[in-house]
Structure 1
Amino acid sequence: MNQQQYPPQQPGWGGPQQPFGQPPFAPPPPKKGGVGKVIGLGCLGIVGLFVLIALVGAVVGGGSGSNDSKNTTKSVGGTKAGDSAPERAKKADKKVVVFKVWGTAPAGALGPLNITYGSDSDNRDGDFKDGKFKATLPLDDDALYFNVTAQLQGSGDIHCSVTVGGKTKKGHAAGDYNICSAQVSAGLLGGWN
Structure 2
Amino acid sequence: MSNSQLPPYQPPTAGSAPAPTGRPKWARKRIAIPASFVILFVGVVIGAAGGTDQKKTGAEAKPQPTVTVTVTAAAKAEKAAPQPTVTVTGPPKTKTVETPAEQATPSGTVVFKVWGSAPSGVEVTYGSDSDNRQGSGLPMTKTLKLDSAALYYDVTAQLSGGGDINCSVTVNGRTKTGHASGGYNICTAQLNGGFGGGWS
Normalising to structure 2: TM-score of the pair?
0.46
Q: Which has the larger radius of gyration?
A: 2
**Structure-1-length-normalised TM-score:** 0.48
